[in-house]
Amino acid sequence: MSDTTEKSAGFDERLSRLEGLVGELEQGGLELEPAIELYQEGIELLKTCHGTLERYRQRVEELSADAEVALRPFEADPDVTEARGE
């Protein structure tokens, strides 16, 4: 996978390619230079996937925080004041 293709590929495509590379390397039978090239490509894919997952994690945390704020009861809501015993 070229650098351009790797960057334009989605997460699932990159993960699938990484799994394929691991399979090829685990089978063995490769000469040293092609094995090193596959390993290097795998490391780059791994870095990219980790970065993508981190960005998604941050996004989910932000969305969750926004949802918590949005779901707080409106303070002037009579149901809220009645539930507090006011």
pLDDT tens column, 24-69: 999 999 999 999 999 999 999 999 999 999 999 999 999 999 888 8
Q: Give the dihedral sign, CA 69/71/77/81.
A: negative
State residue 14's pLDDT score: 97
pLDDT one-digit tens code per residue, 73-86: 777 777 765 555 55
What is the domain range of residue 8?
3-83
Q: How many domains does the chain have?
A: 1
Q: How far apart are CA 61 and CA 45, in angstroms?
A: 24
Indicate which CATH number applies to the domain containing 21.
1.10.287
What pTM, to 2 d.p., does this model score? Answer: 0.68
CA end-to-end span of the chain, whole Å? 65
pLDDT of residue 19: 97
